[in-house]
Amino acid sequence: MGLRKERMGDEIRDVIASCLTGGQLNDPRLQFVTITAVKLSPDLQLASVQFRVLDEATKDDTRKALDRAAGVFRSKLAKALDVRRVPELRFFFDTSVERGASVDAMLDLIRKEKNEN
C-alpha cells in the first residue's frame, strides 16, 4: 500500500473512532465498537472499514448501525481530509483474531505431531 493511502486510511480510522468515542452518535449499538483498520481502493474512492465489537453476537446489528451513521462519518471526514471527494465507506467485521487463533491451533497441532515422531 502506498504511503498516501496508508496515511489517509489511518486518518479515516482516527476520525471515525473519535466520532464513536466522542459521544457524537446516540445509537446504543455503537457503544462498544473498535475500528481496527481502514483499507482504501487504489483510486481512494472506497474505504473498507474493519471493526470489532465486544459482543460478537451483535456484529450484524452493529454493521447496520455503522452503515446508517456513514453520512455523519463522511461529513466529519470532509472537514478533516484534504481531498476532492470523500471515500464511500463500507463496514466489515474484522475476523483477524479468529484467523490468528486458527493459525495458532494449526501450528500447535504440527508441533505436537512433530514431537510424537
Domain ranges of the chain: 3-116
Q: What is the pLDDT of residues 53-68, one digit of tens each?
A: 988 888 999 999 999 9
Q: For residue 61, what is the enclosing H or E element?
A: helix 59-68
CB 47 within 8 A of CB 38: yes
Q: What is the pLDDT of residues 85-94, one digit of tens each?
A: 999 999 999 9
- Going by their DSSP bridges, the two strands 88-93 and 46-53 should be labelled as parallel
Distance between CA atoms of residues 78 and 53, nearest Å: 26
CATH architecture, domain defined by 3-116: 2-Layer Sandwich (3.30)
Distance between CA atoms of residues 1 and 100, nearest Å: 22
What percent of the chain clears pLDDT 70, i.e. is strictly above it? 98
Q: Which pLDDT score is estimated for 1?
A: 57
> Residue 99 in 3-state DSSP?
helix
Give the total residue count for the chain.
117
pLDDT in tens, the chain (117 residues): 578 889 999 999 999 999 998 777 888 888 889 999 999 999 999 999 999 998 888 899 999 999 999 999 999 999 998 889 999 999 999 988 777 878 888 888 888 888 886
Q: Which pLDDT score is estimated for 93?
A: 94
